[in-house]
Amino acid sequence: MEQGAYRGFAVEAIAETLWPTRCALCDRPGKVLCDDCARTLDFIDYWQACPRCGAPWGRIQCDHCATDALLHDLTPRLCLGALRYTDRTATLIKTFKDKGEQRLAANLAALVARCAPPSWPVWAQCVTFVTATKSARRRRGFDHMELVANELSRIWGVPCERLLAPPRAKDQRALGRLGRLSNMGDRFRVDGTPAAHRAIVIDDVLTTGATMDDACRALEAAGCACRSLVVARV
Ligand SMILES: [Zn+2]
Ligand SMILES: [Zn+2]
């Protein structure tokens, strides 16, 4: 083992002794997400979900895109989600992006990969992601969805491309539904002309659909068709 690699290994071993890896959900030592918790996440049942917008119970009649004219407009593309947005799901995502447990990126990528139909990775020419605002990136020290997109790219063998520049408007988290909708529009910009013509766009949580819609609109205007996947659906 080279000296540098050995030192890295030793630092990791010491860190693991002082702060053992614990499950983000049940605190059991061992893995960032233990097998029991990974098995019992709040999965969206594909057969019960809306085939268009991914709403958890919308297979026959979707409350989100059938009755909500605004959302109907906002989600003209296919969007599927892996988990229902419950307290446990929120904890998982928070531990990843706000507490900096970057190793969860691999778990979240496996979740979104699992909810996509097998034809999607064949259709896609690249995986891309909804970029974080500059301030969120500065606060966290990383662009959380970029990490998930890189992992998804590895799982599927489809290249990962950063196509979207960071959004211009402020962070959506402090805003209510109406605030989010009025905060939308033209927030994303595509840098240059994407080489890919078909992209799978990923994000962590889909609430109103406004952010994803903005991102996809910008990509489509640049000649790139989109399908989207999210870790969680409100
Ligand atoms: Zn656990
Ligand atoms: Zn729907």
pLDDT digits (tens, 9 = 90+) for 182-202: 555 678 999 878 889 999 999
Ligand 1 center–CA 41 separation, angstroms: 10
Token readout for 186 is 């033209």
Ligand nearest to the CA of 33: 1
Model confidence over 125-146: pLDDT tens digits?
A: 999 999 999 999 999 999 999 9
Ligand nearest to the CA of 50: 2
Kindly tell me if the per-residue pLDDT of 19 is higher than 60.
Answer: yes
- Which ranges of the chain would DSSP assign to H, the alpha helix? 3-18, 35-39, 69-74, 87-97, 104-115, 119-123, 134-140, 144-156, 177-182, 210-221
Ligand 2 center–CA 59 separation, angstroms: 8
Kindly tell me if the per-residue pLDDT of 58 is higher than 80.
Answer: yes
Whole-angstrom distance, CA of residue 127 vs CA of residue 157: 10
Model confidence over 148-164: pLDDT tens digits?
A: 999 999 999 999 999 99
Ligand 2 center–CA 112 separation, angstroms: 18
pLDDT cut 70: percent of the chain above it: 85
Q: For 22, which DSSP code? A: B
Ligand 2 center–CA 9 separation, angstroms: 48
Kindly tell me if the per-residue pLDDT of 52 is higher than 90.
Answer: no
Among 31-40, 124-133, 177-186, name the one with the lowest average pLDDT: 177-186
The winner for highest mean pLDDT among 10-19, 56-65, 155-164 is 155-164
Whole-angstrom distance, CA of residue 225 vs CA of residue 174: 30
HSE, side-chain direction, 13 A CA sphere, residue 198: 9
Chain CA centroid to CA 15, Å = 28
Averaged pLDDT, 57-77: 67
Ligand 1 center–CA 87 separation, angstroms: 14
